[in-house]
Structure 1
Amino acid sequence: MKTMQVPSNLFTVAPGVWGRKDLFVNFFTVQDLVTDQWVLVDTGLKWSAPKIKEMAAYLFGNESVPKAIILTHGHFDHVGSVIKLAEEWDVPVYAHHLEIPYLTGHSDYPPPDPTVGGGLMARMAFLYPKSPINVWRFLRVLPSDGKIPVLPEWRDLHTPGHAPGHISLFRDSDSVLIAGDAFVTTRQESAISVMLQTKVISGPPKYFTCDWDAAKKSVDELVNLHPKTAATGHGMPMRGKELKKALNDLQHDFEEKSIPAQGRYIPNPAITNANGVMYVPPKKYDKNELAIRAFAVTTMLVVGFMWKTFKKNKRIRQNEALLEVEYNY
């Protein structure tokens, strides 16, 4: 019997919950511990579908199909493969009703803000897609009572700020939280932190967060759940005392450390409703914008080349070590 290789960047979150990282974003599978049925939470980037299917095959078998797809929100790095997978699997896609305009082609998101500071990932935000997708044929609205039809052990919480209809998922039985991007466990604005997966709790990624008052209230709500395990859209899971202290620090220092000192959505947020974006604050003028953009693109290419070289050299070292073991044997 052929043993299936463990997919790269696969990690365990909690019983029945697994995640996988693709470049800089995570997606998750959640299995119902009673029925053994499972759902996919978020769908990564446009090219993530093969990695998601590989993960599902490893965990649940080659022919296994999820009961549904649940979206924490509709930003490009969380819905990249949703249309392809929904069509292939013929499964419903659940989201909060305030995300519907961005998932049915009716409204762009508020533009990402490259002026918030924090590193290369933020500076590159002008390149990030903000246009809506259209997955209306499969789309279902999550019930307003927080119950998830396909996951009876879990409930969803509306945690806006990073996106108007952003949700987080919580399992009360063991206090497991899938936070989405309501907060994250790496400094997502920094390319170095993203590459090294430096584990530190931060507020929502600054460059896409369009309402900081709402983001603060969402963090307060999640901290007050007292989660014992937290998995987020960016970064590795945190647990126990480490998580408790980090969340308390995040809540206490949110205004100082999470809210950027400047930016398009400081001090005024974007205004949205069930139809989409109603108002966006004017773009902040930066006289050095062209030079900064050119520098950001150049830096991204250099960092990408260095990372590719690092990964290649790591594989070579691993292969050499394997050959040495085989030779000695």
Structure 2
Amino acid sequence: MERRNRRGHHTCTLPFLLLTFYPIYCQASWMWLGLASGSGEARLACSDLPFTRAQKEMCRKRPFLLPSIQAGARLGLTECQTQFKHERWNCTTSTDTSVFGNELTSGTKEAAFIHAVMAAGLVHSVTRACSQDSLAECGCDRSLQGQGSPGGGWQWGGCSDHTHYANWFSRQFLDGAAGNASWPQGASHAHALLAVNQHNREAGRQAVDGTMLTDCRCHGVSGSCAVKTCWRSMAPFERVGAVLKERFETSVEVLQRVASHQKVRRKDKVRRRVPVGRDQLVYFHKSPNYCLEDRRRGVPGTRGRHCSRTSRGPDGCNLLCCGRGYNTHVVRHVQRCDCKFVWCCYVRCSRCESMNDIHTCK
């Protein structure tokens, strides 16, 4: 249960013992920073932000990381909505500090993607700040400089992106408080949720590391490329998002009962002994169809969504509208066209009109 405080933020009103043992159930989320407009919100004191107690302490000790935390939240939210813009669930967010409502604790494939892409966004933004020498605690990875294959015409140099510090910070900031929690007997569901969320966040970090690129620059007389200097750099975050979307499509269903000393295990009995890879996304609850509005879960449904009458993909009217049919509206569009420069000195344009069919789900 939540209530709003005088600042308009959501605060938990659950009993103290439940908050102690189940901190993941009542969340005002750091992800809210991704929705905050401008830099004004980032100037708030750490104690005013929707962080857990451990996150507020980290923020107090490292306030210089706050812009990177906000940039990472925006990166993750934007990529989530880009990857799912044509799906029934289109990475729906709310304006309150929970951001995703109950979706974060649903244990579904969608929750797995959220945790993964947000952790990846945080790693990406902190690493970028390190490479730009914006942070005193980290910098470029220069450990390989001067090494390579001189006979082969290349050597390591430049400023390689170094994700080591960003991965450490991401684990401490996102996993630290929950990972150190004590769990009472009978807390199997909460512990399973903790385990899969931590696993999925680690999968997000692995996606950043796994998509690293090698860039090179040529040196030599008249661009002869006698020697190449090479360095490692992060892939554009769109590539990380695409990899995580692929992992979403092949995510693994795992057991909901997880002992404190165990890692997540496959639900499929035939393959249960096959370990789940660190880069795989996992879930233990089947996803709803997201067709109809469910205010309790924060699901808006697909009514009123734009669809494509001719597409056979997820944005097609048949799939997106869940078989309910669709409405067609004719929209008149007027724009300038056939513009020509007239000497001297103005541009003369014609006025073009077009009629377009817009389809929306019933």
TM-score (norm 1): 0.26
TM-score (norm 2): 0.24
Which has the larger helix fraction? 2
The structure with the larger Rg is: 2
